[in-house]
Amino acid sequence: MSEDLFDLHRATLDRAVEACRTRQGWSAFAEPSAGHPDGTAFQAQLGAAFDLGQPGRLGEQTDEISPYTGDPLGISYPVTPVDALFAAAQRAWPAWRDASVEARVGVCLEICARIHERAGELALATMHTAGQSLGMSRTGSGTNALDRGIEAVAQAYAAMARVPATAGWSRDFGGTTVALTKRYRLMPRGVAVVVACASFPAWNVYPALLASLATGNPVIVKPHPTSVLSMAYAVRACRDVLGSAGFPPDLVSLAVDTVAEPVTRHLVTHPATRIVDFTGSAGFGSWVEAHAFPAIAYTETSGVNAVLVDSLDEPEPVLRALAGSLCLFSAQMCTSPQNIYVPRDGVPTAAGRMKPDEFAGALADAIRAVSTVPRRAAAVLATVQSGQTLRLVQEVRDRAAGRGHVVLEPEPYAHPEFPAARTSGPLLALVDAADHELFGQERFGPVAFVITADDADHALHLATGDATRHGAITAFAYSKNEAFLDRAESAYAIAGAALTTNLTGPMPLNFSAAYSDYHVTGLNPAGNASLTDESFVAGRFRVTQSRRMKG
């Protein structure tokens, strides 16, 4: 049955393995259709129980409140004691551990297909928990996230396929030939815990969940308590597919906690935990890495991403690209830029030097062209996932006002469909390199700084220093000076952030393509795992062997 699933998805797998090899880019999915999805199922779920058939009672999740409506979703999820989750996972494990690689990979790819079938429901769930726009819920958290999941399955499959099942071996010992038949088995490590973030869970959970599952490990998914529903759908898809394929559904389960009583530390340090995937803050990520032993930890946290503006022909397309990226999902992405460095004596352009305050003013105008037009703002900025983020933005605004110049106030926009939506345009402040204490760390949410530096190399030095100390995932440079761009590429390779140079046009600057862009390097505090290199999958299974005399 599950080998049938392998055959069914074989073409997708082969194409994904090839895409991982060449990294030329590909998608298993067509562009999501436009138009509003059918909301019937989603509406019916609100205020209702979400039963997964897990052990334990159902309990209402009061932390889950739509950033669009301000209303609690009122959904009851299974509340399963942590020890019961591990016990169920371990009971379920043997059948999965002993299944063939093909059976497991077939199930994983069917899970992706099953999630995709429910794309509309999932998109609405993502909107009303993570607060993303409908478009991003369908792409970034939909097809792109599933592509990253398939990418992880493909890398896991390729890695497992490189281990031979058997080998014949012989050698001479003092004139006598000893011949052995050796058998190599792929052994999963054990129970995997996947800890999701609130604002963009699917993109990291799918690869982690599927990489662990494909390599034979049971998985406990721990969503953020304010952002459970989309992960509950994903876990249901896993359990349904596993069950249909004849495996115990408890191979994938959901651990629901609350803001008041979090269970992440308990899950990470549980004696049965063997793998932890964590997405969240850099501070908590470091705690996970330091305390996961004997489990191995894969983390993706956050960083302070920079833009180095050295010299431009035409400022306008660059400003539009920057504004788009600063507005995209109100900069609540780990790839969003924050610190935009310009030379203190201005940015050389075809029309002469553009002084820092001119540059900042023009950037503010480009942002306003998005943030003050409700329909565009709704599509690009969407909402702010957490009220805490708004408070932090205000705090930074007040501090920035005391040290520099607030070029653009972080003002809410009126969402055309959801009058109660929690929104905020970006804060843009003009500061100097000397104000490092203000911008030298990640300020999560719609916060950006235009920072005056001596010159582009000074900016590069500051920005890569922050990347090394506090983490960074992306970086952007605009320059007509090839020698500077080469220096920037080398410096960022060492600092471990992906550098994109001179990009303008319709692609969001921080778009990260499945199968092609490596996401996070593991070389700075923004995380130790990369989507998707071989080290992301290699540790999730081990090889055991047996030897017998031949003949």
Residues that bind its own copies (CB under 8 A): 21-25, 97, 159, 162-164, 167-171, 173-174, 176, 178, 180, 182-185, 187, 189, 286, 289-290, 293-294, 296, 489, 492-494, 496-507, 513, 516-518, 521-523, 528, 530, 533-535, 538-539, 542-549
Residue whose CB is less far from its own copies, 234 or 456: 456
Alpha-carbon distance 82 to 88, whole Å? 10
Residue whose CB is less far from its own copies, 407 or 477: 477
* Minimum CB distance to its own copies, residue 324 (Å): 11
* Minimum CB distance to its own copies, residue 424 (Å): 25
* Minimum CB distance to its own copies, residue 166 (Å): 9
Burial track 316-345 (b if 16+ CB lie within 10 A, e otherwise): ebbbbbbbbbbbbbbbbbbbbbbbbbbbbe
Does the CA dihedral 205-131-501-28 come out positive or negative? positive
Radius of gyration of the chain, Cα coordinates, nearest whole angstrom: 25
* Minimum CB distance to its own copies, residue 543 (Å): 5
* Minimum CB distance to its own copies, residue 25 (Å): 4
What are the tokens at 508? 């969001």
φ and ψ of 152, to 5 deg = -65, -40
Are 529 and 299 a contacting pair, CB within 8 Å? yes
Residue whose CB is less far from its own copies, 46 or 493: 493
Residue whose CB is less far from its own copies, 79 or 327: 327
Are 227 and 198 a contacting pair, CB within 8 Å? yes
Are 458 and 309 a contacting pair, CB within 8 Å? no
Q: Which residue type sits at 235?
A: V
Residue whose CB is less far from its own copies, 150 or 256: 150
Helices (H), 372-481: 374-380, 387-403, 436-439, 456-470
Q: Which residues contact 377 (CB under 8 A, 6 or more apart)?
A: 327, 370, 371, 413, 415, 423, 425
* Minimum CB distance to its own copies, residue 542 (Å): 5
Residue whose CB is less far from its own copies, 144 or 452: 144
Residue whose CB is less far from its own copies, 240 or 517: 517
* Minimum CB distance to its own copies, residue 296 (Å): 8
* Minimum CB distance to its own copies, residue 57 (Å): 33
* Minimum CB distance to its own copies, residue 513 (Å): 6
* Minimum CB distance to its own copies, residue 478 (Å): 11
Residue whose CB is less far from its own copies, 24 or 62: 24
* Minimum CB distance to its own copies, residue 29 (Å): 13
Residue whose CB is less far from its own copies, 60 or 518: 518
Residue whose CB is less far from its own copies, 428 or 498: 498
Beta strands 273-279 and 474-478 are unpaired
- Can you list the positions of beta strands (E) in 405-528? 405-408, 427-432, 447-453, 474-478, 498-501
Taking CA atoms, 431 is separated from 402, 437, 464, in Å, by 10, 11, 18
In the 3-class helix/strand/coil scheme, how is 96-107 assigned residue by residue? HHCCCHHHHHHH
Are 194 and 218 a contacting pair, CB within 8 Å? no
Alpha-carbon distance 529 to 98, whole Å? 27
Residue whose CB is less far from its own copies, 410 or 508: 508
Strand order in 191-195's β-sheet? Answer: 252-254, 219-222, 191-195, 273-279, 296-300
* Minimum CB distance to its own copies, residue 158 (Å): 9
Degrees (nearest 5) of the Cα angle 322, 328, 334?
A: 95
Residue whose CB is less far from its own copies, 62 or 545: 545
Alpha-carbon distance 243 to 236, whole Å? 10
Does the CA dihedral 484-338-137-109 come out positive or negative? positive
